[in-house]
Structure formats: C-alpha cells, structure tokens
C-alpha cells in the first residue's frame, strides 16, 4: 500500500505522515528523497533542496510522463537531471514496500500504482502556532510576517505541483481524503487514520 501526503506549510502534514508510518510499520520517505538525488547526481543536498522545493523554472519544458526536451544550457541540463532522478527514486521507493511519501508530487508520479492520496490543510492561526513551536529560539518574525512567509511557501508548492501535473494543488478532486488539522492534535488524527487504514489493508 502506498500513501501520499500533500500538505500546506504548517499544517502538520509531515508529522502526520511520520506518525502514520510508525503506527502502521510502513516505510517513510521525505528528506530521504533529497539525499538520494544528491547521491546520484554528486550535488550537495542543499542545492538539490533549492531546486526541488522551490518554484521551477517556467522556461524549463518538462512534464512527468513525457520525454525530456533536449537542452543546451548546462544549468538547465543539471536541473533536468535532478527532476529525472527524483521521479526514478520515488518510483523505486514505492516499489520496495508499503510506504508513506510526503510531498514532491508523489501522488501524480505514482498514479498508476493507485496510491491513497491525502491532503492536509489548516487555518492560518493554527499554522502560525505550529511554526512557532518548531521555530528556532532567535526567530523574531511577527505573526503578520510569519503568515506572509507561510503564504509564500504554499504559493511555491502550488506552482510546483501545477508545473509537474497540470492539476490544481489542494483541489479536493485530486485526493482521496482531505484533512483539516486546525486546532487539532496530530497524534489523535494519526491514531484515527491508522484504524481506518488497517481496515482497508
């Protein structure tokens, strides 16, 4: 069984995925994807993270499931290699065992494997509260500044998803389950979901 989790920043989607993996005994993949790409491309994890976590280059004509267009620019070719390896790694991870994969368009990349697709969202006060709990002690952002940062990250995620899939990020038609974590305990949500998924498998 494959579970993919798309999530708004600060919604607790990553924690939900990790707790589900622990409860179900499933493999959990998140930052491991970045590590795998870095190892295969001999690039730093920081550089790979910048490429795959931020807005893609619109001038870069790539689409999952189609052949890559030939490019001459060395930076573009490097980006092409990163995207290609990400696609391969996610496929390989999903083929190994039952797993949970967070983000990176895994729901679309693995659509032929019929994953259970979850999207996690929350209201802004809840997202700000979660971000504050995880922020470094020297974090000095006001609530307004943090909200702007959250919106910026979600905007990048939406563009990234649309760029890869031609679908709308967060649109309920693209997922099997939408979860609103506003004001809720992620541990309790994970426990409830675990019981449902165990019945499914």
Enumerate the β-bridge partners of residue 117: 4
- The tens digit of pLDDT for each residue in 39-94 reads 777 767 776 676 666 545 444 434 444 444 455 556 666 667 777 787 888 898 89
pTM greater than 0.85: no
Tokens, residue 35: 């590590």
Domains of the chain (ranges, CATH numbers): 2-195 (3.40.50.300)
DSSP code of residue 175? -
Mean pLDDT of 158-173: 90
Q: Where are the beta strands (DSSP E) in 103-173?
A: 116-121
């Amino acid at each position: 069984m494959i579970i993919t989790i798309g999530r708004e920043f600060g919604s607790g989607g990553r924690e939900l995925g990790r707790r589900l993996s622990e409860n179900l005994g499933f493999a959990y993949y998140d930052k491991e994807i970045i590590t795998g790409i870095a190892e295969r491309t001999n690039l730093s994890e920081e550089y790979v993270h910048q490429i795959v976590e931020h807005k893609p280059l619109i001038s870069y004509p790539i689409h999952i499931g189609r052949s890559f267009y030939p490019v001459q620019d060395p930076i573009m070719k490097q980006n092409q290699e990163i995207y290609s390896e990400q696609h391969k790694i996610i496929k390989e991870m999903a083929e190994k065992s039952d797993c949970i994969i967070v983000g990176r368009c895994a729901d679309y990349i693995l659509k032929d494997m019929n994953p259970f697709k979850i999207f996690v969202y929350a209201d802004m006060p809840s997202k700000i509260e979660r971000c504050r709990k995880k922020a470094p002690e020297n974090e000095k952002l006001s609530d307004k500044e943090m909200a702007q940062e959250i919106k910026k990250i979600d905007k990048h995620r939406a563009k990234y998803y649309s760029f890869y899939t031609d679908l709308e990020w967060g649109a309920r038609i693209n997922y099997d389950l939408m979860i609103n974590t506003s004001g809720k305990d992620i541990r309790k949500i994970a426990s409830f979901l675990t019981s449902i998924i165990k019945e499914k498998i």
